[in-house]
């Protein structure tokens, strides 16, 4: 018997597959990138805490940071992560300027070719790179590149080769420094 939640998730999956067709992959000149933004979200009970870190590129000098705390409105369901994280991510991004956005989550490296990084990229209209700590089962072949401890994929308005060129100088200890800082900030008050 199909539950109401399963029906809704099937509908969402169909929308994800359709939106995947709107993702644009194109080269980005890393020489034109001055500011990289990184966002991560952590959870405590019924609260989501999104953290944003803005860094210079390529040397990753911290320009600023902030957090936003919102109520959790959707449970964690694998491959439907974007339903849980979109609201806190958009809250923390509001009013910020940057050239490229790094999202802790997948983009094209998603079974339906449309993860959190693609969704946020479509919504904010900026080059967006998905960075995750592991691949998803069923991700399309060639949709990600492993770099150190990170799995990098296209979010939106960037191609995989450009994403790799932007992530490479930001790696510190095998993971992009801006995301490491955002992760730390999402779990406490200061960097």
Domain count, the chain: 1
What span, in angstroms and rounded, lies between the C-alpha atoms of 24 and 142?
A: 16
Pairing between β-strand 100-104 and β-strand 128-132 as defined by DSSP bridges: parallel
Residue range of the domain that includes 12 = 1-187
Domain CATH code at residue 75:
3.30.2170.10
Residues sharing a CB contact under 8 Å with residue 80, sequence separation 6 or more, in sequence order:
9, 12, 74
Residues 8-42 have pLDDT tens digits of 999 999 999 999 999 999 999 999 999 999 999 99
Whether 171 contacts 147, CB under 8 Å: yes
- pTM recorded for the entire structure: 0.95
Per-residue pLDDT tens over the stretch 147-170:
999 999 999 999 999 999 999 999
């Amino acid at each position: 018997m199909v539950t109401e939640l399963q029906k809704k998730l099937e509908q969402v999956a169909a929308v994800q597959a359709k939106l995947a067709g709107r993702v644009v992959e194109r080269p980005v000149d890393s020489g034109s990138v001055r500011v990289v933004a990184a966002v991560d979200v952590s959870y405590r009970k019924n609260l989501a805490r999104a953290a944003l870190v803005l860094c210079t590129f390529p040397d990753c000098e911290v320009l600023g940071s902030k957090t936003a705390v919102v109520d959790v409105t959707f449970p964690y369901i694998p491959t439907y992560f974007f339903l849980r994280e979109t609201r806190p991510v958009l809250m923390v991004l509001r009013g910020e300027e940057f050239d490229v956005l790094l999202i802790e989550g997948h983009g094209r490296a998603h079974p339906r070719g449309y993860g959190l990084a693609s969704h946020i990229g479509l919504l904010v209209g900026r080059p967006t790179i998905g960075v995750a700590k592991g691949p998803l089962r069923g991700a399309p072949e060639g949709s990600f590149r492993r770099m150190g401890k990170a799995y990098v994929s296209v979010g939106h308005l960037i191609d995989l080769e450009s994403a790799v060129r932007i992530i490479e100088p930001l790696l510190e200890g095998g993971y992009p420094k801006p995301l490491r800082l955002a992760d730390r900030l999402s779990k406490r008050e200061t960097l």
